[in-house]
Amino acid sequence: MTILSPAVVVTGVGAALTLAYAAHRHRQVLRVPAELRCAQLYWPRPILGPLTLRLARSRGRDSTPLPGIAVTRSSADTVDFYAYERSDRERPSGVLLWLHGGGRIAGRAALDHRQCSYLAAETGYLVISADYRLAPEHPFPAALDDVLTALRWIHQNAAQLGVDRWQVVIGGASAGGGLAAEACQRATDEGIPVARQVLAYPMLDEETAVVDAFGRGRLGWAPASNRYAWRSYLHPGPGQEAPPYAVASRRKHLGGLPPAWIGVGDLDLFFREDVDYARRLTAAGVHCELDVVPGMYHGADLAVDPQPASMAAFWHRMACAVTQGPGRAGP
């Protein structure tokens, strides 16, 4: 009789668990359209603490702007940003204040060079992408304060920028979409004009942390990462409620907010909170276009290169929402 050593038994169990996980993960990935599948779907790298956060921050590479778009680096008071514009931009044009993703704990404006230059090319708007401060080093309200600083600066310098202050749009993806929604709430209350809000799979609700029965949240941004990100951003104490403007979904009355476009995939962890926010906006009398993409997981539009046709179409619809959505009338 052959007696296996404990090390061999442990190794065998580990291999079996690894194979079982790989098979389970493969079944999940099969739900994704073939054109959206990529290697990172099989072996995700969630952000669980300071070490994995440092690794996540170090992995991101700046994307390449599209040719024909001028990109300049500047600052608005204490907030650094990139500006993107076509050489033939009409003046005054509209302006899009764009906010990058990263869970409010990672990311930077330069990662979105490609997306922002695309939006500038498609819309003819001046696009300004802000580098807001990140948690946990800078918890709420630092990021939102930075966004409002950039928004006020745009309004104060509209003439010099060659933009129409009544066509200021705020947009963003993931955490940036959540910050855009919160900035619109605060801007509305402070009387700062915002024409539209364009939110790509926005991060709106700090209580979203579970995988639902349909399987949402298994691909892309994971529940564990979401929990860590919100804790880092809010630093909640025992029984403490989120302060005003910290979490977009916590606002009770949504009436009077700018018209909105919300785009999200039906496999996204944020699907339910995004659909719920869109419905609440509509119920409050705010025009909201909800764009649900079948088979799209969180961040799928940035995950595959070259960009698949379905994600190129998603970006096109987002660009159309920047310019063609119903805006607020001027004075």
Q: 265 near 271, Cβ under 8 Å?
A: yes
> CA angle 226-316-103, nearest 5°?
15
User: Out of 112, 131, 268, 301, which one is annotated catalytic?
Assistant: 268
Beta bridge partners of 99: 130, 172
Interstrand relation of 196-200 and 163-173 (parallel, antiparallel or unpaired)? parallel
Eight-state DSSP code of residue 254? -
Q: The sheet that has 93-99: what strands, in order across it?
A: 69-76, 79-86, 126-131, 93-99, 163-173, 196-200, 260-265, 288-293
Question: Residue 248, exposed/middle/buried by CB under 10 A (0-12, 13-18, 19+)?
Answer: buried
- Tokens standing for 157? 């310098």
Going from the C-alpha of 256 to that of each of 145, 169, 186, the distances in angstroms are 21, 15, 11
Q: Which residues fall within 8 angstroms of residue 126, CB to CB, at 6 or more apart?
A: 83, 84, 85, 89, 93, 94, 95, 96, 120, 161, 162, 163
Active site residue 146: no
Q: How far apart are CA 272 and CA 208, in angstroms?
A: 9
Active site residue 205: no
Q: 169 near 95, Cβ under 8 Å?
A: yes
Q: Which one-letter amino acid corresponds to residue 75? A: S
User: Out of 117, 129, 174, 249, which one is annotated catalytic?
Assistant: 174
Q: How far apart are CA 270 and CA 276, in angstroms?
A: 10
Active site residue 189: no
- Tokens standing for 327? 């805006």
User: Out of 93, 117, 131, 298, which one is annotated catalytic?
Assistant: 298
Number of separate helices (H) and strands (E) present in the chain: 10, 8
Show which residues are catalytic.
Answer: 174, 268, 298
